A and B are shown apart, each in its own frame.
Chain A
Amino acid sequence: MESLFAVLVGVLVAAGVFLLLSRTIIRVVLGLAFIAYGVNLAILTVAGLRDEAPPLLTLAGPYVDPLPQALVLTAIVIGFGTTALLLTVALRAYQVAGHDDVEAFGDGLARNPDAPDGQYADPEHLSPDQPEADHEARS
Chain B
Amino acid sequence: MQKYIQLHVLTSYPASNLNRDDLGRPKTVVMGNSQRLRISSQSVKRAWRTSELFQQELGAEIGVRTKSIGIYVHQALTTGVGFGDAMEGASGGSLPTIKDKAAREIARAIAGVFRANKSAEKGKKDEEAKAKAELEKEPLAHLSRAELAGIAALVEECRESGKTPEKDALELLRRDNMAVDIALFGRMLAKNKPFNIEAAVQVGHPMTVHSVEVEDDFFTAVDDLNRDSTGAGHMGVSEYGAGLFYHYICIDTELLVRNLNGNEELAERAVRALTKACCMISPTGKQNSYASRSYASYCLAERGDIQPRTLAAAYLEPLDFKPEVEAVNYSGCADSERKNLFNRAVTELTTLRENYGKVYGFQTESASFNVPKGVGSLDEICNFITE
Do A and B actually bind? no
B contact residues vs A (CB 8 Å cutoff): none
